[in-house]
A and B are shown apart, each in its own frame.
Chain A
């Protein structure tokens, strides 16, 4: 049975084409050891040697969480129309196209319906590769669509964030996605449907300061980066160096910002366990 079934919306080729032509071995950034790629994939992209976390794409993340064959992609077939005609060192339109080609996605998020240990849910997962997972009009719209689907089908909503914040290239429209998603989020509470927010590396700025922080339950993956302002900006402001664990998952837990810190290997069990209470 295929892991993913395509439906009427987005058609993403879930046969990872990159697996075919890439090197068989990858180097772990934490322990610098060469790891057999297949082994890494079997191990949820956790280094078998040191336990360091490799970065997960949205697709890979979904695979680590859902029951095999249960995920149906419901991502709407929409893409940015470059409302500001934004050009920095590169035209935004071109940047989007490049990112689409590199990732095989239309924007930085996949939304679908699936099951985690037989618990049905709507699952939205951001992808940091796509312009830093930033939230512009498309990501905002997909999140709201996911929430509305959850309300329609009376399902819990789970969002896995991996985002540097709002997408600068869409200016004020991006900033307003903070309000748009926060407003939609309320629909879930009104229907007594749980919203579980999972913060991974990174969940910062405009995304941390909106939808990601509005979960009924908020869990951080170990190794996440969670905060509003960037470390360098804060260091410049206060004129001192920050401790290495600043804005880490443990920091977030210690300061009451998240409910728990979860290992990648246990995330699926953890989510199933939480969903079971509702």
Chain B
């Protein structure tokens, strides 16, 4: 039975009971209260389910602004750098030197591309090994000259390709995380669309991590999760809810520092408000981070990641 039908039936039952209640002098108020409570719970569940899945769709909306738009809008000057100095240039990762609030910063951003042709060039935001190696190169360059690093995360995940595996994409993601978490410059990461698993966290190991209101961040795509745990890709909406992949949940889990409100019903409808809010947030975080000495910064970052996790002491019987 569909959820909406169940809700409708509950509403009708309550109406019938209410009618009986007033007519025959019976006291049915307890039954009515019970059903009303049940209805409220179901409605809330339904809304939450829709909310999670709605956000997945918003985060993937074809008109949702991507890294190029934000960089155009936010940076006073941007000089893109190309190539990993070994194999090639990965169009899914754009990056380079930029002026932001009058200071030089290094930007590293995942780029889904807008039109079909651009999307193909940028491989729909799925990075290959070259992309992660390029990210590492830019991070090290930033560190040498003490430029803060700003990253924009927007990827469905790393590219699952044959060549990617031959070129050790897993190892490259590991190396990116390792480089980033050890950088001796301030780092801020913003999830602007899809934060797709390891491919996203590779440029997300920052001092501060923020998320746009309708972006998602997840250990696995809802479809992938549904395929493995439910053995049914069509259960993706259920998986999305279980994975708690929204910005609100990420903040509750203590993993992100701020949720950035989007304009209108989403960034695709009101880009300027969204971009202004992002600008405000990035500027604030960078300004705060500039107050720390390098070693303070690094110690603070290490402490932050050291403490991420949720577990309890074993209280029950000894294991055998």
Contacts and interface: CB of A to CB of B under 8 A. Distances in A.
B308 A229 contact: no
Chain A CB within 10 A, most for which of B162, B177, B182, B243: B177
B164 A229 contact: yes
B245 A171 contact: yes
B244 interface: yes
A214 B106 CA distance: 25
B306 interface: yes
Given A168-B229, A179-B205, A257-B168, A237 B161 contact: yes
Contact of A180 (B162, B175, B306): B306
B219 A140 contact: no
B313 A78 contact: yes
Interface string A243-278: 000110000000111000000000000000000000
A112 B74 CA distance: 50
B309 A179 contact: no
Contact of B305 (A10, A174, A183): A183
A124 interface: no
B320 to A, nearest CB: 5
Interface in B191-235: 197-198, 201-202, 204-205, 217-220, 224-225, 228-230
A76 to B, nearest CB: 9
B319 A104 contact: yes
A79 to B, nearest CB: 5
B198 A78 contact: no
Contacts of A175: 197-198, 201, 217-219
B287 interface: no
Interface residues of A, number: 69
B14 interface: no
B169 interface: yes
Interface string B272-310: 000000000000000000000000000001100110111
A183 B225 CA distance: 27
A37 B256 CA distance: 51
Contact of A171 (B169, B218, B302, B309): B218
Interface size class of B (residues with CB under 8 A): 35 or more
A228 B162 contact: no
Given A173-B310, A227-B165, A229-B160, A186 B219 contact: no
Given A168-B228, A168-B243, A178-B201, A255 B308 contact: no
Nearest to A184: B306
Contacts of A11: 318-319
A146 interface: no
Interface stretch (A50-58, A83-91, A151-159): A83-91
A229 B224 CA distance: 11
Nearest to B204: A179
Most buried by A among B171, B224, B229, B309: B309
A141 B167 CA distance: 30
B218 A182 contact: no
B308 A173 contact: yes
Contacts of B217: 172, 175
A88 B313 contact: no
A95 B295 CA distance: 42
Contact of A213 (B167, B175, B309): B175
Contacts of A185: 178
A138 interface: yes
Contacts of A180: 305-306, 308-309
B205 A182 contact: yes
B177 A178 contact: yes
B17 interface: no
26 contacts: A10-B319, A77-B314, A78-B312, A79-B314, A83-B253, A84-B242, A104-B319, A137-B309, A140-B309, A168-B220, A168-B243, A173-B310, A174-B219, A179-B177, A179-B205, A182-B178, A183-B181, A183-B306, A185-B178, A186-B178, A206-B219, A212-B174, A227-B165, A229-B158, A229-B165, A242-B162
Interface of A: 10-13, 17, 77-81, 83-84, 86-89, 100, 104-106, 137-138, 140-141, 144, 166-180, 182-186, 204-206, 208-214, 227-230, 233-234, 237-238, 242, 246-247, 255-257
Interface of B: 158-162, 164-171, 173-175, 177-178, 181-182, 197-198, 201-202, 204-205, 217-220, 224-225, 228-230, 239, 242-245, 249-250, 253, 255, 301-302, 305-306, 308-314, 318-320
